[in-house]
Structures are given as structure tokens and as C-alpha cells.
Amino acid sequence: MKNSSTNKIKQLTPLQKSFLVIEQLQSKLDTLEASQKEPIAIIGVGCRFPGGVSTPEAFWDMLHQGVDAITEVPKDRWNIDEYYDPDPKTPGKIYTYHGGFIEQIQNFDPYFFGISGQETMFLDPQQRLLLEVSWESLENAAINPQQLAKTHTGVFIGICSNDYAQIASSNTKEITAYLGSGNTHSTASGRLSYTLGFIGPNLAVDTACSSSLLSVHLACSSLRNKESNLALAGGVNLIISPLTHINHSRARMLSPDGRCKTFDAKADGFVRSEGCGIVVLKRLSDAIADGDNIMAVIRGTAINQDGSTSGLTVPNGISQQAVIRQALENGGVDPATVSYVEAHGTGTSLGDPIEVGALGRVFQETHSQEEPLIIGSAKTNIGHTEAAAGIAGLIKIVLQMQHQEIAPHLHFHQPNPYINWPELPLYVPTQAMPWQINGKPRIAGVSSFGFSGTNAHVVLEEASSQLTSHKSQVKREELLERPLHIITLSGKTEKALEELVGRYQNHLETHSQLEIADICYTANTGRAHFNHRLAIIASEKQELREKLLQIKAREQEAGVFSGQLPKTNSSLKVAFLFTGQGSQYVKMGQQLYQQASVFREAIDKCDQLLTGELEHPI
């Protein structure tokens, strides 16, 4: 075949050969250009935000209900009464009582991640949070973290603050060798790859408020360049020391009442807040091929810089316009199809008019007062999470797309008079509203602007019905017909396994729409397997729920098996038991052939190999 093609090429004239070379080069160029613009699938999300948010579902409940999660500074951070003074001119003081805080940041299981108690004492809680949320994001993506060792999984983390280092190093005589590795930004990201065995790119990013969204941009580039086959991207921010609060008070950046009143006439600064968000990313073609649950798709990203402005921290509206236009162009997205933008929206008297003006100019030709671009900001709910701000906004958009609803924008009562609202094709929703699209796909943008001048914008599209139904269509018929299902659960300790049983019981009660086959499949293949193990056989969800309840009550139940593996590094041996001869019967194995694809594929292969050798096919 190859010789035939070679002979045909030899018969071509020089001009024909030239045309053939040009066609081949053009084909390669088209393939390269397509790969550089391939959409990126979001297949998993993990998060922690103020207001007790520890899951994407809890974050959506907060957004949907219009909850304000801002509180006074808790006592486990610092005694705010010792620092408070309403006069911003007072040195060493803070003129606001407020902030957005994650609960129980001191709770951490170091042994789960193979970290000693001594090392944990010098481990920045931001690093602890990254470990937990990254693990949860992989579980949310139905990926077993244990199976990612030695894979080209990239890590891209936005992180700016180092409050814990200030506290941990306060007594120089108690400093150990763990201070450096526990508090540098490079090890915050590097520890994730070290713990899970990734060998893909690893970057810690500090561009202030735009850090996490810029990390998403870098992760998408890494995936398109084939440096990574999977990527974790996001950011983290914790407020442990009062020093940055004091600095921002001297700079008069903070809102005295502790609220981001974005776009409102009373906008007077932002409120500092904590957060951590991680998304699991994969090339869209790979996500489809792997049958992943595609939550949303990243179409285009872009970054740029403000350059020279009237001040280091003064935004540049022209640069903001440029980065949005570039992200749209990079993703091949028509501005007319964008129906929502999650604004940076810090709620400052200077920044809000500049950002809204930039949005108006970008979309003025494609939108109108009658068909406006809807804009909002999660900062009105949870405050400014700084290095995690961009990823918080991105996760908000993903959740809005999944629920086909736009969450209310809080603290917007009187439009900012420095914004020319009558001339802008923009709308700020103060109530939850359906995300109407009139037959078009839901497409949105999210902006994040660092106070040092680095800007980022990401354009997202909802996962189409074809993408979301692809996995459920695969072998759905056989899964529905399976008479029995087995679910396997495990934990590193007996107590951890007991808590997991309770979480699965709650999950079954709150997600009644899920199929038992899907629940079992994800638990069996998309979770790590530890030494304390439990297996349950059930025919349908109600039976599984009842058995979980009986396990919690420590009642004996048929079809429930538990045990603990020995603590050994040696591989367990597998044994197969075959019955003796004489037990065959008509249609033996037929049900298994119909219901188990692996068994069916093996039998089909044997049938092909034995074709012509047997009187009847297998």
C-alpha cells in the first residue's frame, strides 16, 4: 500500500508535487490552529467560601437565596476590639469590624495527606486548604486521585498572602526546618503535585486579585499545548493576621460597613474575605472521549496589563476593554452571544465606573437597553476573596449555567451617579431571574483585575445537552436492567468510614433523581480506596438507603460486608474459583453477557477468534 502511494507521487509533475506539499502543510496548520483554540471542559469543582460554604451545592444555595456572608472578625483571627478605630487616619488601627471568613480553618487531618504533626505546626492553613479542596475537586470530577500518580496533571494556583509566616516566625527560637516549605508560595502549589504524584507543570501565581483567573488562563494554555492532559486551577486566600487590614485601612481601600456595594452610589470600598476554589480542567475532546461529566466549557481566555496610568493601583479602562475583546476573539465568540458578565466589581468609587464603562464600550454595538448584557458580582455575597476572587466568579457562572438562573446582585439600591447608565446596554439584577437565552447557548464572561495592573478575562459556555447526555447514553439500557448493584466505600480510619456512610445516606436523600447505577459506579471507580472498607449489595436506592441507616445503627444486615486490609505495601493476590465440570445449562452466562460490557467484549473477541473452528458461534 505504501509502495503504491509512493509510485503515484513519483508520477506527479513538479507543479503537482508542489500543490500536494502545500495541501499537506495547510492541513497541518489547520490542525495546529484548531488545537490552539480547542475549548476546555470544566469537569470538577471544589470550594470553600464564607458563610459555611464547603461544596458547590452550598455555594449555589447562598447565591440563589441572596445571602450576605459577611461577619465581624472572629476571635480566632485577632481581637478586633484592640485594633478598631473609626478614624482611618489613626496609625496601626482598622476602621472596620468586618470580613468574610471560612469556618474552622484550624481543623485539618495531616495524616490523611502523609504529613507529620510537627510539620503541620508550620504549615500555612492556605496549603492545608489547597490539599483538601483539590482532593474534593477531583472527587467531584469522579477521578480517583490515587490513579493520577506519574500523569501529566498540571497545577496552577493563585496565592498572594503569607499571614501565617508572620505568626509562625514570631518566636525565632522555635523556628524549624519546616517554616520555609510550609509558607512559601511555590510549595503551596508544589505540595499538591508532590502529594498526589503529578509530573505535569506546576506554578504558583501572584498577580494580586487576578491571580486565580490568570491561573485558569495558564492551565488552558498548558492543556492546548499538550504540556498537561489534566489540570487543577484556582486560588486560595486566608486572613490570619491584622497587618494587611491595617495597610488597607491606611490606604482607605476598605468599606467601613464591611460590604461591597458594587455599582451603587454608596460604594465606598471593599471588604476583605477568605476563599478557596479549584476547577478540574481537560481538553473538551478528551473529556467527551472519557465520558466525563462536563459542567461547562471554557471558550477563550486572555490576559494583559494596565501599563502606565495615573497611579500604580489605578485601573485602565482601555486595557479592560482590550482583554475582554481578546478573550472573545481567542475563543471565536461573537460578543452578541454573551448574555452575562461576572464583573470584578469590588465596589470602589473609582473602579466601578471604569469597569462598567469598559463593558459598555465592548458590548455597545451588540446589546441594547431592551436586550441588555446582565452584570453582577459575587463580592456582594462573600466579599473580595483577593487571590481567589476570579475563581469564585468563575464557579458562580458555572453554577448559574447548571441551574439556568442568574443569582441576585446584593446591595444595589441607588445606581452610581458616576456611571452613565441611560447610555449603557447593561442591567444589574437585584432578584434571582431565569437565564433566558431564546434558543441560543448560555455564554458568559468573568473578569478579574489585579491591583498591580494585571487583568484577566475568561469566556465560558454552558455544556450543551449533547455533551451532558453523552455519558448517560452509554450503556444506559443495560445499566437499568441490572438486578443487583454493589457500592464500595472506604476510609483511612473506622471513624472516617462511619462519617462517609452518613454522607452517602444524606446524598441519596437529597439527590433522588440520581440512578443507583451511577452512584455505585462513581463510588467504585472515582474514589480512592483505603484500608477500612465496606461493600453493600442492593437492588435499588431505597434498599441502599435502608442498609446505610442500619450500618449507622450498627445493625447486622444481609448483603453488607466490611473489613480492614492489613497495613502492608505488598500487592494483594487475586484468586479465581471455577466450578467443576457438569454444571453447564442452557443460556448459561446470557444475563451476564447482556449486562456486563467487559464480559461481553471478551466473549465477542473469543467468538471472532474461534470463527470457523466451532459448529455453532459462542
278 has a pLDDT exceeding 70: yes
| Domain spanning 476-564, CATH architecture | 2-Layer Sandwich (3.30)
66 has a pLDDT exceeding 90: yes
pLDDT of residue 439: 82
- Helix locations, 411-512, DSSP H: 465-473, 476-481, 494-510
pLDDT of residue 387: 97
| CA-based nearest residue to 520, from 505, 533, 532, 536 | 536
3-state helix, strand, coil in the chain (%, to 5): 40, 20, 40
In the chain, % of residues over pLDDT 90: 73
Residue 76, all three cell numbers: 480566632
pLDDT of residue 32: 60
pLDDT of residue 72: 97
Q: What is the 3-state secondary structure (H, E, C) of 191-259?
A: HHHHHHCCCCCEEEECECECHHHHHHHHHHHHHHCCCCCEEEEEEEECCCCCHHHHHHHHCCCECCCCC
pLDDT, average across residues 162-178 = 89
Residue pLDDT, tens place only, 187-231: 999 999 999 999 999 999 999 999 999 999 999 999 999 999 999
DSSP labels, 397-440: HHHHHHHTEEPPPPS-SSB-TTS-GGGS-EE--SS-EE---TTS
pLDDT bin (cut points 50, 70, 90) of residue 28 is low
Return the SS3 of 375: strand
| Cα–Cα distance list, 366 to 186, 359, 360, 372, 444 (Å) | 43, 12, 10, 9, 14
112 has a pLDDT exceeding 60: yes
Lowest mean pLDDT among 19-33, 384-398, 502-516: 19-33
162 has a pLDDT exceeding 70: yes
pLDDT of residue 235: 98
pLDDT bin (cut points 50, 70, 90) of residue 272 is very high
Torsion angle defined by CA atoms of residues 341, 344, 346 and 349, in that order, rounded to the nearest 10 degrees:
-80
Residue pLDDT, tens place only, 345-392: 999 989 999 999 999 999 999 999 999 999 999 999 999 999 999 999
pLDDT of residue 597: 81
pLDDT of residue 4: 62
CATH of domain 43-463: 3.40.47.10
pLDDT of residue 262: 98
pLDDT of residue 497: 94
Residue pLDDT, tens place only, 440-486: 899 999 999 999 999 999 999 999 865 655 554 544 444 446 788 99
Residue pLDDT, tens place only, 534-563: 999 999 999 999 899 888 778 877 889 989
List of residues 6+ apart from 603 with CB closer than 8 A: 589, 593, 618
Residue pLDDT, tens place only, 570-586: 677 788 777 766 677 78
pLDDT, average across residues 7-27 = 73
How far apart are alpha carbons 519 and 542 in whole angstroms? 13
List of residues 6+ apart from 390 with CB closer than 8 A: 158, 209, 210, 211, 212, 213, 214, 216, 235, 446, 448, 456, 458
pLDDT of residue 330: 97
Average per-residue pLDDT for the chain: 91
- Domain-wise residue ranges, the chain: 43-463, 476-564, 582-618
The DSSP call for residue 337 is G
1 has a pLDDT exceeding 70: no
How far apart are alpha carbons 516 and 509 in whole angstroms? 12
In the chain, % of residues over pLDDT 70: 93
pLDDT of residue 552: 79
Residue 162, all three cell numbers: 503569607
pLDDT of residue 478: 45
Rg (CA), the chain: 28
